[in-house]
A and B are shown apart, each in its own frame.
Chain A
């Protein structure tokens, strides 16, 4: 039991427990706030894997951005509590159980490449290098901007459409 194990266990616990709250809470605003902790837990998990840039990006974009969007979305829908429907719950439980069994099977049978966790170096320099080198990730980097542009236009269009429906 090393410090890395404890950190991993703590972050995993935060993620799973808050994800459970998100899925099970009756009030949608509570679910949204629960998601905040899930995002944080996932950011922590990235960090334990040595992916510091991904961790910071997760906090910047998901915690600081997506969360705000979600909360705004929740605030502009009429607040109502979702009802408990036994049949639906049963269906979800079955599906969940199947997925769980599948995951466990994969976990058991996969060949994991294990490595002792030494404190890794920051990934930011390498990311910058690879992102801008033509032989590596330059094309995806440029395509991302087109993707973002498409998302921007699409989002603005949908938001405008929503106004009409209201």
Chain B
């Protein structure tokens, strides 16, 4: 019929168990209903996870910013200020929703939906762990196109941003949106080129295959001397794609007020915020899976998929911390510097790295060098 991934079949079993309490089983539901129901529960779980993660991230960001600037950060609401973001959420819920006169109401409302939907859909193709018994990755949908689909689907976010900027009927918004679009689009080239390298080595577009390939400490970052440079390009381009500092000029507070979301207020604004943190997580997850062995800890994790999930989560959090560290350390770039870096530095280097990695892999230089080394 169809192959259900581990998560979805677990959800299916759970539904079956719940229906069993009332003396039924899952076969009373027609097949399409089952499929949609399982998908909805999985997606709902992901949305909950993202919302929870954003609460933690915002708290982290404020505390880290505080420490880096030799101040305390939020510390009054709850222990260590942990409930500060929860309180802020209620504040945002209670804020009036303002749609400026002259704004296009439909596009204004649709833009945050589109921006968020792309990132959420991309998470469906991210493996969160590895099941050693069944020998397959734990993910929602193990798509053969994997990273190619993720790249494609994340690219739709730009349209949402331009839509938000144009629909707002505000000069700041439109300037911010155009800048953002030009920047994101420029950095998609080095991002795509650097993602080709792990695909090339693994020989499969699916991220699940990359997870399997790196089990037992065989991380892609050790495979050849170019990988650190490739990862660096990936990370910088990823930062630019998330609009994170030092690439946050689409929403440069000091010059463009708040960029493309100037006119967004309250809850509606918070979705853009959510998207920023969600795409940071996405980039970090891809980085961890494609360069740093996904959930692998040199094989020490044994066959427990739960520990692997924890390890992956830890790697993602480290990456998020580095992003925050960069934000509070580096000053914002100017638009011409952004463009120069993208087209004249990262893109050519990414081209050469791609060819270099291909040659290295083609002639198995690792083995040859090892032979040479061990002979002498």
Interface residues of A (CB under 8 A from B): 3, 29-30, 33, 36, 52-53, 56-57, 59-60, 63-65, 67-68, 71-72, 75, 119, 121-122, 124-125
Are B152's CB and A64's CB within 8 A? yes
Q: List 23 A-B contacts (CB under 8 A).
A: A3-B32, A33-B159, A36-B159, A53-B148, A56-B148, A59-B152, A59-B153, A60-B155, A63-B152, A63-B155, A63-B159, A64-B152, A64-B155, A64-B159, A68-B159, A68-B162, A71-B162, A71-B181, A122-B143, A124-B144, A124-B145, A124-B148, A125-B144
Are A124's CB and B205's CB within 8 A? yes
Nearest Cβ on chain B to A51's Cβ, whole angstroms: 11
Question: Number of contacts between A and B (CB, 8 Å)?
Answer: 63
* B114-168 CB contacts (< 8 Å) to partner A: 143-145, 148-149, 151-153, 155-156, 158-159, 162-163, 166
Query: B276 in the interface, Cβ–Cβ < 8 Å?
Result: no
Cβ–Cβ < 8 Å partners of B159 in chain A: 33, 36, 63-64, 67-68, 71
Contact with A along B28-55 (1 / 0, CB 8 A): 0000100000000000000000000000
Which of A53, A57, A60, A121: most chain B CB closer than 10 A? A60
Nearest Cβ on chain A to B250's Cβ, whole angstroms: 14
Question: Using a Cβ–Cβ cut-off of 8 Å, how many residues does chain B contribute to the interface with A?
Answer: 25
Interface residues of B (CB under 8 A from A): 2, 32, 104, 107, 143-145, 148-149, 151-153, 155-156, 158-159, 162-163, 166, 174, 178, 181, 185, 188, 205
Cβ–Cβ < 8 Å partners of A71 in chain B: 159, 162, 166, 181
Please tell me which one of the listed residues B144, B155, B178, B188 contacts residue A72 in the complex, with CB atoms under 8 A apart. Answer: B178
Are B2's CB and A119's CB within 8 A? yes
What are the 4 A-B residue pairs with the smallest beta carbon separation, nearest first? Answer: A64-B155, A122-B144, A60-B152, A59-B152
Are A59's CB and B155's CB within 8 A? yes
Nearest Cβ on chain B to A98's Cβ, whole angstroms: 34
Cβ–Cβ < 8 Å partners of A64 in chain B: 152, 155-156, 158-159, 185, 188
Cβ–Cβ < 8 Å partners of A52 in chain B: 143-145
Residues A63 and B156 in contact in the complex (CB < 8 Å), given A72-B181, A122-B144: yes
The answer for the CA separation of A59 and B148 in the assembled complex, in Å, is: 10
The residue in chain B whose Cβ has the minimal distance to the Cβ of A29 is: B166
Nearest Cβ on chain A to B279's Cβ, whole angstroms: 14
The residue in chain A whose Cβ has the minimal distance to the Cβ of B182 is: A72
Cβ–Cβ < 8 Å partners of A68 in chain B: 158-159, 162, 181, 185
